[in-house]
Amino acid sequence: MKDIFPQRLTKLIKSKNVKVADMSDNLGISKKSIYNFMKGAIYPSAETLSKIADYLGVSIDYLVGRVNVPTDIILMEEKDEIKKEIFFIREAYHKMDEAERRIIHNVIENIIKEKERKTTEERSGDGNEAD
């Protein structure tokens, strides 16, 4: 059973085109640790295992070999449409290269800034009409 985690981790990273450097940055885990997890040289703590499962969109049970279906627990437990959208976005994001990810990041950032600007204008009561 101990050999299953490194095998599944490696398979998921490759099949989802995940860059270990990106995974490392996003999870706050060193690249060396991730490569050692993939080799089976070391095993993650429960907290790190949970982060890895969430990042890869699978259950912890799948990663450690308790089940053979890489089910996303969130989708099983929640029928919430937002959670389904988040799962879709996460899956798509993993398939993108760094340039595509920067574009998506910038688009989201601009949407948030525009929304904040509109909220600020609404709170100020459109005081610019007298100009």
Task: Say if 38 falls within a structural domain.
Answer: yes
Name the residue range of residue 19's domain: 4-73
Between CA 37 and CA 65, with CA 77 as vertex, the angle to 5 degrees is: 30
Q: In whole angstroms, give the CA distance from residue 131 to residue 126.
A: 11
Task: Say if 24 falls within a structural domain.
Answer: yes
Task: Say if 18 falls within a structural domain.
Answer: yes
How big is the chain by its Cα radius of gyration, in Å?
20
Task: Say if 11 falls within a structural domain.
Answer: yes
The number of domains in the chain is: 1
In order along its 131 residues, the chain shows pLDDT tens digits of 468 999 999 999 998 889 999 999 989 999 999 999 999 999 999 999 999 998 998 889 899 988 887 765 544 444 567 767 777 787 788 778 889 989 999 999 999 999 999 988 888 875 555 44
Task: Say if 89 falls within a structural domain.
Answer: no
CATH code, domain carrying 67: 1.10.260.40
Task: Say if 117 falls within a structural domain.
Answer: no
Size (the chain), residues: 131
37, 53, 82, 126 from 46: Cα distances, Å: 13, 10, 26, 51
Task: Say if 28 falls within a structural domain.
Answer: yes
Task: Say if 12 falls within a structural domain.
Answer: yes
Predicted TM-score (pTM) of this structure: 0.56
For residues 93 and 101, is the Cβ–Cβ distance under 8 A?
A: yes
Q: Which two tokens stand for residue 37?
A: 């997890």
User: How is residue 16 annotated by DSSP?
Assistant: T
User: How is residue 126 annotated by DSSP?
Assistant: S
